[in-house]
Structure 1
Amino acid sequence: MAHKDQYKPFTVPPTSPNETYVTISALEGGMLTLPESLFVADADPKRKSTVPSLSFLIQHPSTNGGSSTKLVFDLGLKRDLTKYPPAQQAHISQRQPIETRPDVADSLRSGGIDPAHDVDYVILSHVHWDHVGTPSDFPNSKFIVGSGTIDLLKHGASPYYPAETFDPVMLPHLRTLELPPTGETLPGAPSPSPKKTTHTWAAFPHNASLFPRTIDFFSDSSLYIIDAPGHLYGHINLLARIAPGKWVYLGGDCCHDIRILRGEKDIAMYDDGCGGLRSVHVDVGLARDTINRVGRLLDAAERIEVVVAHDKTWSESNRGRFLPGTL
């Protein structure tokens, strides 16, 4: 198992003239209730917490004076739970109480953004039910997902992700592209789609060992897609530059409790029903490695802020940074 100390702390790239910065606003994406014992080792088996499924609006400035490019990262929960496949609804029934409004579309509209016309891209960190929201709210957006995601939606992945828990037509076929394969294949991983973006993976400048696989999405160092394997096939994070020397890392489900990221707690392991142990991550070794890498960002907290998708404390402490506010 990799250890946090094997990685060097995050080095903030030096500032330079004419840098491009994005703005980030948190979005409401619904609430769900999680039993702590499924996520945190040695937790009280009776303890539950109702947590957010955070989403984010990222706006990239135009280079020619036009409107900004708008990107939404994750879509939270569907506002209509009956739209999930029946097999998934059985799982959802164990996550009550659940709040589905406001959802991401509501949040955008309340901030003056029309999801049907104003959002250029939707990037999903992964396709677990509490992150996929209602894609039909974005009829003109391009969808971008991690490698293997399209095959996962169609065929599932044994033994923990049967096909019947996914909706194979959830994403718009003609407007959905996968990121290229990373070159690191998990056992049993779904097959990459031939419908790939034109991006290529490369190491993050000044931090090649910490983040060896990143994509400079706008080709101006303002927004990076980060390969963050372990939680689910195709799981990705975002790293955004928001001001000179200031960055935000959106960690999706790299972990479900910030104490794990700080090294205070470990990932919970539980009975897999087949005589072994499993966790909420498809590959716990890779998940720990991703957590250790992201954990090094905490050493530069004055320069980089880390936000994971289900951080209730962050959500409650940062209400002014939800749209129309910014991070």
Structure 2
Amino acid sequence: MSSQSPQIVTLPAPVRNQTYVTVAALDAGHLTLPERLFVTDADPEKRTTVPSMSFLIQHPSSTSSKTTNILFDLGLKRDFSGYRPAQQHHISQRQPTIVSPDAAESLQKGGLSPQDIDTVILSHVHWDHVGTPSDFPSATFIAGSGTLHLLAHGGGPLYPAELFNADELPVDRTRELPPVRPADAKYASAQQTPASLQWRPLAGFPAVIDFFSDGSVYIVDAPGHLYGHVNLLCRIGEDKWVYLGGDCCHDPRILTGEKGIAEYDDGKGGVRSVHVDTCEAARTVERVRRLMGEKKVVGEDGRDVQVEIVVAHDKVWRERNKERFFPGNL
């Protein structure tokens, strides 16, 4: 009987004077998820209160003492009162929620001011990831292509405009990533990131942006969950990386293959999942899964590489890694 050779994923080897970033987790609120809506073969009555984590990425300059501070996702808002009725109804189904500490509080407890944040990159703009943008008055916000259109007009019958706030992000400080697919261009904002930031394939992902152009932080197009959904791939050491998976899945057992993505009645005679495109979300999960430890991940120079994958709502990871929350790091 023949056996398949192990799948090999290749990540870029470090260059001379390679820049490495530090990554720290931040508590940014909790919400409660009914398991039956997220994973297959679920206990229909089980509900679990999970984190919605934010992450601080610190990028040292190679030419000065300046460190660029990035937040990836902002978790939950402190105050839900500004949400619209449809949003309030949705949030009522995710109770209990915990809103303290939020991302800003967690930063301050670690010794960093919210005003010190230079950039906020949002994986997507669901309510449990956008936090309180006004806490970060000096930050440029970066979101996937079409995000501002989504906030203003919604995204079809599964995600009507009533589930979003058009003024969620500071428009004068928000920049969208360039469209990945030609069909997305019609929804793109004129306020885009610099033209130097271009999508290119990397490590089995069709579209990735080298954010600092130095191989330290890559923005990964991670379609399926919501329009414009992105992940981050961060180089934290010579042979060590961290992959921040946002909502590519809501339970790490989907990544390991123990569970699948749940589908359920959409109330309109069909089925749906928590993703806007279930098939595309499954393809994203498979690409992320290739980075896991049981696969073969190597650098371009042939050395073995370690990639730690963390998704936003991984309760078990949070409980096991409390010392890696800011001011600690991964």
Provide the TM-score with structure 2 as the length reference. Answer: 0.92
1:18 to 1:59, Cα distance in 2 relative to 1, 3 A: same
Mean Cα deviation higher: 63-72 or 299-308 = 299-308
1:172 to 170, 176, 184: 170
Matches within 5 A, 1:296-307: 296-298=290-292, 299-300=295-296, 303-307=306-310
Q: Tell me which residue corresponds to 1:309.
A: 312
Q: Distance in 1 between matches of 2:6 and 2:160?
A: 35
1:241 to 235, 239, 248: 235
Asked if residue 277 in structure 1 is aligned to residue 271 in structure 2, the reply is yes
2:280 to 279, 282, 286: 286
Query: Residue 11 of structure 1: CA displacement?
Result: 2.1
Letter in 1 for 2:181: G
Matches within 5 A, 1:131-280: 131-183=129-181, 185=183, 191-198=187-194, 199-204=197-202, 207=203, 210-280=204-274
1:130 aligns to what SS in structure 2? helix
Answer yes or no: is the 8 Å Cα contact 1:190–1:233 preserved in 2: no
Q: Deviations over 1:78-103 (max 9, x none)?
A: 01121222220111011111100000
Q: Tell me which residue corresponds to 1:127.
A: 125
Alignment RMSD, CA only? 1.7
1:59 aligns to what SS in structure 2? strand
1:68 to 1:300, Cα distance in 2 relative to 1, 3 A: farther
Q: Distance in 2 between matches of 1:7 and 1:154?
A: 45
1:86 to 1:6, Cα distance in 2 relative to 1, 3 A: farther
Answer yes or no: is the 8 Å Cα contact 1:12–1:303 preserved in 2: no
Q: Distance in 1 between matches of 2:6 and 2:104?
A: 39
Q: Distance in 2 between matches of 1:182 and 1:7?
A: 30
Q: Distance in 2 between matches of 1:52 and 1:18?
A: 36
Letter in 1 for 2:51: P
Letter in 2 for 1:251: G
Q: Tell me which residue corresponds to 2:300.
A: none
Q: Deviations over 1:135-176 (max 9, x none)?
A: 000111100000111000000022011111111011001100
The alignment covers a number of residue pairs equal to 316
Q: Deviations over 1:177-220 (max 9, x none)?
A: 1000001647xx9711111112111112xx2xx11200000000
Q: Distance in 1 between matches of 2:182 and 2:284?
A: 13
Answer yes or no: is the 8 Å Cα contact 1:157–1:190 preserved in 2: no
Letter in 2 for 1:120: D
Q: Distance in 1 between matches of 2:31 and 2:134?
A: 22
> For structure 1, which runs of at least 5 residues remain unmatched after alignment?
none
Q: Distance in 2 between matches of 1:114 and 1:262?
A: 37
> For structure 2, which runs of at least 5 residues remain unmatched after alignment?
298-304
Letter in 2 for 1:100: V
Answer yes or no: is the 8 Å Cα contact 1:142–1:176 preserved in 2: yes
Mean Cα deviation higher: 262-271 or 63-72 = 63-72
Letter in 2 for 1:101: S
